[in-house]
Structure 1
Amino acid sequence: MSLPLIVLAAAASFTCENPSHHDGDNVRCSNLGGAMRLQGIDAPEMPGACRPGRRCVDGDPFAARDQLRRLTRGKTLQCVQEDTDTYGRAIVNCTAGTVNISCAMIASGLAEPRYAALDCNDQAAEPVAPQSLAQRAPEPQQAPMPGPVPDPVPERVIVPADTPAPALLVIPGPGMTFLLMLGLALINAVTWAMFALDKRRAVAGRSRERIAETKLLGWALVGGTPAAWYAMKQLRHKSSKDSFKQSLLLISGLQFGAVIGLLWWQFSA
Structure 2
Amino acid sequence: MIAEAIALALACSVTDGDTIRCGDERIRITGIDAPETRACRSGRQCVEGDGRASTRALESLMADADLSIIRLGRDRYGRTLAVVYADGINIACAQMAAHQAYYIERWDNQRLVAADCPEIAAGTRPRQS
**Structures share a fold, TM > 0.5?**
yes
Tell me the CA shift for residue 35 of structure 1: 1.4
Alignment of 1:1-269 (within 5 A): 8-10=2-4, 13-16=5-8, 17-29=10-22, 32-48=23-39, 50-114=40-104, 115-116=107-108, 117=111, 118=113, 119-121=115-117
Identical positions, percent: 33
Give, as a single letter, the amino acid of the residue that structure 2 aligns with 1:23. Answer: D
Which structure has the greater CA radius of gyration? Answer: 1
CA distance in structure 1 between the aligned counterparts of 2:117 and 2:28, rounded to whole angstroms:
22
TM-score (norm 1): 0.39
Distance in 1 of aligned mates of 2:95 and 2:117? 14
The structure whose RCO (Cα within 8 Å, separation 6+) is larger is 2
**Displacement, 1:121?**
3.5
Deviation sequence 1:104-129 (CA, Å, 0-9, x none): 00111010011224223489xxxxxx
Q: Distance in 2 between matches of 1:9 and 1:47?
A: 32
TM-score of the aligned structures, taking structure 2 as reference length? 0.77
| Matched length | 112
Q: Mind listing any 5+ residue stretches in structure 1 that lack a counterpart?
A: 124-269
Letter in 2 for 1:112: Y
Q: Matched residues in 1 for 2:117 and 2:78: separation?
A: 30
Structure 2 unaligned residues grouped into runs of 5+: 120-129
Distance in 2, matches of 1:86 and 1:46, equals 20
Specify whether residues 58 and 83 from structure 1 end up closer, same or farther in structure 2 by C-alpha distance, changes over 3 A only. Answer: same
Q: Is the 8 A contact 1:9 1:80 kept in 2?
A: yes
- Specify the SS of the correspondent of 1:21: strand
State how far apart, in whole Å, the 2-side matches of 1:28 and 1:47 are.
Answer: 17
> Which structure has greater helix proportion?
1
Q: For the Cα contact (< 8 Å) 1:24–1:67, is it kept in 2? A: yes
**Whole-Å Cα distance in 2 between the matches of residues 96 and 47 of structure 1?**
25
1:154 equivalent in structure 2? none
